[in-house]
Amino acid sequence: MRTTAKLEADQWVINGAKQWVSSATGWGGKGADLICVVCRTDPTAPPDKAISVVAVEGPADGIVLERALESVGHRAHLTPRFKIVGVRARKDNIIGGPGAGLQLVEGAFTGTAALVGVFGAALMRAAFDFALNFARTERRGGAVPIIEHQAVGYALADAKTAIEATRALSWRACAALDAQAPGAFELSLQAKIFGSETAVRVITDLMRVVGIDSYDHQLPLAGLLQDALAYPLFDGGNMGVRRRQLHGLLMGEGYDPLTAFGAA
């Protein structure tokens, strides 16, 4: 966290840089109507006390768009890299008070973790529908549709099983969040990790069922895979953030492995 905010009289002065913040610069590059900037407001405090969230009302002077990142998938989604140079916000625009940033960010990302599992299930279902119809109708030079071959049938069966497992876990995580159950955070992390990585694997497996034609954007599978590739990486990458959070839960004093079982 290298972006800082320093209080000068009745204003926060923010300096730093950000990237991968959805639509933060606005389509005109001058800043969105409202940006919630996670920044360090106390350089001497420990992380759980040093980070705050400051709301910046736009357009704001000092938002400098460097470039729109060229993403593999989600091509209609604006993901900018930009600098924050002397951007000013009112003193009372701090959300939750000074030092509340880490808790706010964690709370905001808990619910979205479960939704990533839902996104993964949706992409897999779209890919499965196409691959199933393809297998039922294509003979590829043989006497029968390829679904009658054992290898194809097993691949489709495994894909459908993985889809239903992802769907059930994500549904349960969302229900636990709605109920504010004790195990909701753990279930959300599991839904994010499992759903995102399963989506990449299953869509890739279904592309093997279809064959080389699936690599052509005239068919939907390549585009579905491009979008799925983001899920293990965004909203807190699985390796750098989500697994670390889950690891932290497992190491926590008093952790009960049965809590999540009764969460929903």
Category of 132 on φ-ψ map: left (φ > 0), alpha (ψ -120 to 50) or beta? alpha
What would the pLDDT profile of 22-58 be if each residue is shown by its tens digit?
899 988 888 899 999 999 999 889 878 999 999 999 8
Q: Are 56 and 19 in contact (CB under 8 A)?
A: no
On the question of pLDDT at 74 being above 90, the answer is no
What is the structure's pLDDT at 221?
98
Query: Considering the chain, what percentage of its residues have pLDDT values greater than 70?
Result: 99
Looking at the chain, list the stretches that DSSP marks H as alpha helix, in order from N- to C-terminal side.
47-50, 101-137, 150-179, 184-210, 221-228, 243-251
Edge-to-edge strand order for the sheet containing 4-8? 63-68, 80-90, 11-19, 4-8, 34-40, 51-57, 94-95
What phi and psi, each to the nearest 5 degrees, are found at residue 20?
A: 65, 20
Q: Are 192 and 114 in contact (CB under 8 A)?
A: yes
Tokens of 187: 């279930």
What is the structure's pLDDT at 263?
62
Bigger pLDDT: 221 vs 47: 221
CA–CA distance, 126 with 205 (Å, rounded to integer): 14
What would the pLDDT profile of 142-201 be if each residue is shown by its tens digit?
889 999 999 999 999 999 999 999 999 999 999 999 999 989 999 999 999 999 999 999
Helix (H) or strand (E) holding 16: strand 11-19
The mean pLDDT value for 99-108 works out to 88
Which domains, and CATH codes, for the chain? 4-95 (2.40.110.10), 101-262 (1.20.140.10)
Which residues belong to the active site?
235
